[in-house]
Amino acid sequence: MKSPRYQPRSRKWLAWITSLLALTVIVLQVMQHDAVASASLKWSQLLPRHGWPLALATALLPLNWGIEALKWHLLLRRSRRSMNQSYREVLVGSTWGFLTPNRSGDAVARVALLPAEQRSLGLRSFGWSAWAQGGMTLTFGSLATAWFMSPLAAAAGTKVLWLIPMLALAGAAAWWTLGWANIRFGFNALMWLQQRFKLPTWLDPETIESDQARPHFPLIIALSAARYSVFTCQFALGLIAYGFGDVTVLIPAIAMVYWGNMIIPTAALAEMGVREALIVMVLQPAPEMVVPLMAGTFFIWSLNLVVPAVFGAIVGPRTMTIAHED
């Protein structure tokens, strides 16, 4: 094990430079966003009507990302002492996920921070965590499409519109089925393939956990459901702060927005345009409430994506140093 002070100076400088560049891009992109830069907006419209929902949403931020860190920690089967390192890796991953399409940089950054012998496990761990979290988004989103399409189909007098929620539900079912099949038959399938083909290192069955050593998937799925509930509540609180009080309408609308974000390939920097369009389309607010609706959406986007990305850029150099101590 090498002490951080023995690390090559070039590696330390590279860690700081990359993190500062990421931080600069994040700040510039946020300041150039229409929700901030447009001179046509009245700043009074951007002020919340109630402060307590935003305070509560902010208080839930460590829980939101803490659950994600706990999933990462459990899937890597780490000791309690390394939970702080798991949280750091998740934050650094959020920084690079913020800058890449569909947050693909999140996986790359997390895996890169692991010791070389753990990277295959890290790649699979990220995949399982994303599978469980994505399953929640697809499941609740597909139910939300049924809620959204029901009055439209009734008004149009046609059942054709029900094809959308039916396809969405089928997609969610297929997502869970493929994951279950991987859990149930994946190891045996890889053993069969290994006998016939040369597999890449990260697919080598000898490096993949057996049935007895696999992580407790029901717990990972439960944690994913808990995290989905947390960031859905944060979104709802953000909208309540700006005058939208009907929770029975907000929750399915938010579920549909998250579903739309998942199926439309975007980088986190572009998600605001997708979220704005979807939330306005679904809620159909009065003209005077459009700007407050966008303001509440922008606040939660900034809270849940920008703030962790900034913290990830700040703790990145130290995390990179620790990751390379061996």
Instruction: Look at residue 247 and tell me whether its pLDDT is greater than 60.
Output: yes
DSSP code, position 284: -
Q: What is the DSSP letter of 80?
A: G
Residue 117: predicted pLDDT? 80
Helix (H, G, I), strand (E, B) or coil at 267: strand
Burial zone of 5 (CB within 10 Å; 0-12 exposed, 13-18 middle, 19+ buried): exposed
**Phi, psi of 267, rounded to the nearest 5 degrees:** -85, 160
CA distance 269 to 53: 25
The predicted pLDDT at position 129 comes to 94
319: amino acid identity, one letter: T
> Can you tell me whether residue 246 is helix, strand or coil?
coil
Neighbours of 142 (CB within 10 A): 23
pLDDT for position 326: 47
| Rounded distance between C-alpha atoms, residue 128 and residue 215, angstroms | 10
CA atoms in the 13 A half-sphere facing the CB of 124: 23
Strongest mean pLDDT among 13-27, 238-252, 256-270, 310-324: 238-252
Tell me how far apart the alpha carbons of residues 21 and 10 are, in angstroms, rounded to a whole number.
16
Dihedral of CA atoms 59, 61, 63, 69 in degrees, nearest 10, equals: -160
Spatial separation of the C-alpha atoms in residues 95 and 107, rounded to whole Å: 11
Instruction: Please enumerate in sequence order all residues whose Cβ is within 8 A of that of 89, keeping only pairs 6 or more positions apart, or say none.
Output: 69, 72, 109, 110, 113, 114, 319, 323
The answer to whether 262 touches 133, Cβ cutoff 8 Å, is no
* C-alpha radius of gyration, the chain, whole number: 22
Q: How far apart are the first and last CA of the chain?
A: 4
- Candidates 261, 260, 255; CA nearest to 143 is 255
User: Phi and psi for 187 in degrees, rounded to 5?
Assistant: -65, -45
58-80: pLDDT as tens digits: 999 999 999 999 999 999 888 76
Q: Which of 85-99, 149-163, 233-247, 300-314 has the lowest mean pLDDT?
A: 149-163
pLDDT score recorded for residue 115: 86
More confident of the two residues 101 and 146: 146
Q: What is the pLDDT of residue 47?
A: 83
So what's the pLDDT on residue 285? 84
- At 112 the pLDDT is 87
Q: Would you say residue 262 has pLDDT above 60? A: yes
Q: Are 100 and 267 in contact (CB under 8 A)?
A: yes
pLDDT digits (tens, 9 = 90+) for 124-165: 889 999 999 999 999 999 999 988 887 777 777 777 778 888
Residue 65, CB-side half-sphere exposure with 13 Å CA sphere: 25
Distance CA 59, CA 36 (A): 23
Highest mean pLDDT among 19-23, 207-211, 216-220, 226-230: 226-230
Mean pLDDT (the chain) is 78
- For 266, the 3-state DSSP assignment is coil
- Per-residue pLDDT tens over the stretch 268-320: 555 656 777 788 888 888 877 888 888 898 899 889 988 998 888 888 766 66
| Domain segments of the chain as ranges | 4-323
pLDDT at res. 212: 43
Residues 141, 259 contacting (CB under 8 angstroms): yes
Take residue 205 and report the two structure tokens written for it.
């069955």
Q: 224: part of which helix (H) or strand (E)?
A: helix 217-241
Q: DSSP state, 306?
A: I
> Which residues on adjacent β-strands are paired with residue 267?
101
Q: Is 11 helix (H, G, I), strand (E, B) or coil?
A: helix
